[in-house]
Amino acid sequence: MKHLLMATSAMALLVVAGCQPSTETDVQADATPEATPTQTADASSGSPEFGTFGIDLSYIDEATAPGDDFNRYFSGKWLDTFEIPADKTRFGVFDKLAEGAETQVHEIIEDTAAAEPALDTVEGKLAAYYNAYMDTETIEAKGLAPVQPYLERIAGIETREDLAKTFAATGFSAPFGGFVDVDSKKTDEYIFYVSQGGLGLPDRDYYLKDTQNNLELREGYIALLTNMLEAAGYDDPAGAAQMVYDLETDIAEAHWDRALGRNRNLTYNKMTKAELVATGEDFPTEILLTELGLGDQEEFVVRQVTPTAEEIEDNGLTEEDLGKLGPGVAGLLKLAQTADMDAWKAYLTAHFLIDHADVLPAEIDDAVFDFYGKQLGGQPEQRARWKRGVDSTENALGEAVGKVYVEKHFKPEAKAEMTELVENLRKAMRQNLEGLEWMGEDTKVEAYDKLAKFTPKIGYPEKFETYDGLTIVEGEAFANDMAVAEWQYADMISQLGQPIDKTEWFMFPQTVNAYYSPNRNEIVFPAAILQPPFFDLYADPAVNYGAIGAVIGHEMGHGFDDQGAKSDGDGVLRNWWTDADTEAFKARTDALVGQYNEFCPIENGEDDTLCVNGRLTLGENIGDLGGLSMAYTAYKLSLNGEEPPVIDGVTGDQRFFMAWAQVWRALYREERTRTQLATDPHSPPQYRINGIVRNMDAWYEAFDVKEGDALYLPPEERISIW
């Protein structure tokens, strides 16, 4: 698994060219699709994980009408009584399943270590990495000695050439970053993408908006920087910390607004190497690229480039929008050249300690948690060391763990059932496309082609990484951390100039999530999400369609959201829409933006009211709305015209929508919600439930929702896109 920036390359369920399908999975244009029924297993072979048909009804709040708050109606008793564990900032179905996977992975690692495998095997590397991470006694005894050569390197920086080389070196922070991915306009080649970076706070707005919460966080962040610089031996750590914060404020000024940065028309800017070097003006960008191992690359894609007048007009950018776009990568390269060298050295020093805190003494580790965990996230307690060890080991050698995880915990029949469900959702999407009144036939032909070319990946990759060339040393937690970072980067850039690896995954099998990749046109479902309540071999079909069916539909929906729809069936970034259909699509998506802008989970008075950013979350909201709509169509097709049974007084449609509410049941700490609203393209979970169902006619009928109910929308205001 290559480590690229997921947020920029794929759309995940929670924050490459497509393969032409075989004739068995292709949907003919003149056919009326019929979904293959997905029946539950015989009752004698098992029973659902939850309730009698796959839904836990024990948390229903009878005092709340479904039409007033469907989330609270279905989960009210849980929302009122559940306490988020002290080592978490949120808790829901994803987190519960992740806990289970974490325990299973821990057992795999412990069993592997107990066998005392040779260090030159992948099992030996896995065991040695985890054991070194867990050996806090040795970490404490070493103190800051392991990082001293790196701090001395920073202290020895004298020229901008030295600075460029340090930015490029393993383990150091920089105001810009990058990754290798498929070229979105030439999907048979890899290219290096250059992007903004360098902030210690989650987003530019934390530096640029003077809310009371931001002011308090800045104070805490500067205190953390002071702590780090004091540990590094600075004579005036407070003064140096202020320099770092001021420098990061300048970096934030150069950054792009997160919502506008979603626009793929604006973030695809191909440059020659000479053009990129010229963008950096006096900064030694060529040295930077050479040190990064990119000196032989002829072209790059630079993600944040000041739009041209033509781009401003084509993308409908307003003066307000332009005010949210800093100078981007060019501005950051200029800042690297002009900002005070002592500020850069203090910046590199503080961030080096912060970035490697988990393999440094507790004094450093605890200080970093106190800010990022407690103050920023609202998390009262640090996670147990073994849990953090599992996370770190997965980041380092996750596919080695994943191979064993699949062997031990993934049922082959789940993959077969899931494959069938994916094809049923594909057929349902085809039917929905055929019925669209707002889309013309020319655009539909392209949409059919894209749908047919979706490549599903289910459970686990065809081949697992063997981690050849990665050297792990027993008892050296920090050195191993650095070795992994260096190996991962070298592994990533080794793709440049090579054929596209269509077997590549960007999540581990043990990850509870899913994603869509637009430049590969593929939908990916790791093994760990294919379990109750998302997917239950023994649950009623309505439940599986309302849960994993909607997840499948969500990822398919990303192929047709406001950004995914800019790529064709082969993953190529191009406009395949007629102007009229583009305008009709935009009218619907703008209406969805308006709906979500009205959702405000934090309302503490006029000066502290925070609402969902409907533009930032648009892609995920389209995925949710389209996904649940597709899943509902697929469910109805699976019935072949028959009425589903009423089970325990619950109708089929009610079970379908309850399944959706069940998988998104969650609680967030307020601090986590604040960060989510500022940075996350996903809406808070209560709005992923309520904001979607209120747009579906079938939900109104299933729960007898009427005018006057809080979630009621008149039929003409209900949004249907896919």
First-to-last alpha carbon distance for the chain, in angstroms, is 32
Q: What is the pLDDT of residues 133-190, one digit of tens each?
A: 999 999 999 999 999 999 999 999 999 999 999 999 999 999 999 999 999 999 999 9
What's the whole-number mean pLDDT along residues 695-699?
98
- Supply the DSSP string of 554-588, one letter for each residue: HHHHHTTSTTGGGB-TT--B---S-HHHHHHHHHH
Which pLDDT does position 11 carry in this prediction?
75
pLDDT digits (tens, 9 = 90+) for 450-493: 999 999 999 999 999 999 999 999 999 999 999 999 999 999 99
Asked if 34 contacts 622 with a C-beta cutoff of 8 angstroms, the reply is no
**In this model, does residue 54 exceed pLDDT 60?**
yes
Three-state DSSP class for 144?
coil
Query: What value does the mean pLDDT of the chain take?
Result: 94
Phi and psi for 609 in degrees, rounded to 5? -115, 125
Q: How many whole angstroms separate alpha carbon 533 and alpha carbon 514?
A: 15
Instruction: List % helix, strand, coil for the chain (3-state, nearest 5).
Output: 55, 10, 40
Cα dihedral sign for 399, 404, 406, 409?
negative
| Paired sense of beta strands 522-526 and 455-459, if any | parallel
Q: What CATH number has the domain spanning 144-359?
A: 1.10.1380.10
Residues 324 and 319: their CA atoms lie apart, in Å, by: 9
The predicted model scores a pTM of 0.93
Cβ–Cβ < 8 Å for 151, 352:
yes
The answer, yes or no, to whether residue 42 has pLDDT greater than 60, is no
Determine the Cα–Cα distance for residues 19 and 440; give it in Å rounded to an integer.
25
Q: Where in the chain is the domain with CATH 3.40.390.10?
A: 50-83+411-450+533-722
In DSSP terms, which residues pair with 186 in a beta bridge? 183
The per-residue pLDDT for 28 is: 25
pLDDT in tens, 563-603: 999 999 999 999 999 999 999 999 999 999 999 999 999 99
What the block records as the tokens of 141 is 């005894």
What is d(CA 144, CA 360) in angstroms, rounded to the nearest whole number?
7
Question: Could you tell me which residues are beta bridge partners of residue 299?
Answer: 272
More confident residue, 607 or 52: 52
Average of pLDDT values for 687-696? 98
pLDDT band at 9 (very low <50, low <70, confident <90, very high): low
pLDDT, average across residues 246-274: 98
> What residues does CATH 1.10.1380.10 cover in the chain?
144-359
Give the whole-angstrom CA distance, residue 339 versus residue 92.
Answer: 44
Q: Which CATH class is domain 50-83+411-450+533-722?
A: alpha beta
Q: Taking a C-beta distance cutoff of 8 angstroms, is the pair 535, 152 a contact?
A: no
Q: Report which of 253, 250, 213, 176 is spatially closest to residue 675, judged by C-alpha positions.
A: 213
Give every CB contact of residue 221 below 8 A, 6+ residues apart in sequence: 200, 201, 245, 371
Read off the pLDDT of residues 498-538 as tens digits, 9 standing for 90 and up: 999 999 999 999 999 999 999 999 999 999 999 999 999 99
Return all residues near 465 (Cβ < 8 A) that are at least 6 apart: 1, 399, 400
pLDDT of residue 606: 80
